[in-house]
Structure 1
Amino acid sequence: MTFISSLIPAGARRSLAIAGAACITLAACAGAGQKPSGDDPLLLASRWELTSWTGHQLPQATNGKPVILNFVREKERGRVSGRAGCNQFAAPYSVRAPGQLTITEAVTTRMACPQQAQQFEADFLEQLMAVNHYRIAGSQLEMQAIDGQTLVFQARDKPSADAKIKFIYVAPQKAPCSAGVMQTTCFQIRERKEDPWQLWYGDINGFAFTPGHDYRLRILEEQIANPPADASSVKWTLDLVVEQGIAAPSK
């Protein structure tokens, strides 16, 4: 199996002009070097899916992969991660004051993607680092950048804090399986490379599977109270694509 993912800086192409403009904005410069004022529970309560961006066509129209942000607190530090249209990414963030947000240098996986998706992703990550203000109204998050552009996100379900982190491998092909009386196909998964493949009869929320690709995923596992009859009592949600590669031809 040949993997084509690695962590690399995603902000190398950010221009000095934008960085300078950030310091012209008083609110942005006031937050530099200061301790963040805290966090916004509403920002942390949901995952956020990009639904519009000034002057841009979103990737859903081309490759079916929505752009997702997930804000978390880890050891008193803020981290935002998710999918940027092609790759997974992660970046530090801080809430400087109510309605004032700073997102700094992101790192991404590096997967082979169409040129259009790669360009969108580079522009999006650059725009995130230009974000200065935000507001949440109901289930909608609006971010405003120092250049006046606006990114709008819609709230999506977020796994609970009690969810367990698991790492699994996913085979490049699904296998026939039975779900009650219905014949279907299921993921083949394992936790270690030396383990035999096992059928996973449920879904993996947020995971866009491409046949012919090997995956290693970081998932969040939650127990479901009182699941419907014949339904799984366990829910899996994708947290991160750790590795992805084109599967080696079968011998």
Structure 2
Amino acid sequence: MSYSAYPRWLALCALAGGLAACSSAPPLAANGQDTRYRPAAASDILAQTSWDLARWAQPGGGLRTIPHPSTNSRPLTASFIHDQGATRMAGFAGCNQYNAPYTVANGQLIVQAQPVATMMACAPQSMALERDYLAGLTRITATSFDNSSNPQRMTWVLSSGDTLDFGRRTDPIVGGTAGASKLVYVNSERVPCNAGAGRAMCYQVRDSATQPWQFWYGDITGFNFQPGIRYRLRVVEVTDPNPPADAPAVRWVLDAVIEQEIVNR
């Protein structure tokens, strides 16, 4: 049943004598929402991206002095990494390297714990900037992007009222040689397949809507797959020079989710 058909189904049930009269009423969660039509979590727009802090505006409109490459200074940075199902934010805070777990919920960046940092000592001005930056990571109240599919600018608003603007770096492809980007369709279910020495669950993919589905044995780094959703992705194909035993030499890195469609089961 599609979204557009759902209200008509409810109306027909009501006319027949109430929702209780419909033998195929949808399952409801504890909050009363229809679980079959719960929106799937969107893929992490920040996965495998890196950013430089370009501007720090204070509540009164003044600008805080921050290091910038144009002055031969090392900028504050934030990188968002997916590694074997775990998400990690890492970067340079002005004096030390830091990392922390994070998640993205409804487009909002949430740093889930106080960042852990190395213990180098620097000039007092750099240490003060680093202290405020690291404290601000767990106080982000709003996150926005200039583009929902391929952002190049990211803005945080902190609970203090400070606004931090970031520019996106050229994304490094870790662990391999990157090829050209491509568009692929990914089917709504992963299926058993023979991979290497044993059985695995493979994606079903194709280049165009008219082609038959084919197995994809490799990984799609940064992709948060949800069963029941058919996707069209833009990916970068990466060749791993030293892949693990029985693992494919080629994998994909998610660049953007172009389309997603709920598929009736």
**TM-score normalised by the shorter chain: which range applies?**
0.3 to 0.5
Give the TM-score taking structure 1 as reference length.
0.46
Name which one, 1 or 2, has greater alpha-carbon Rg. 2
Give the TM-score taking structure 2 as reference length.
0.44
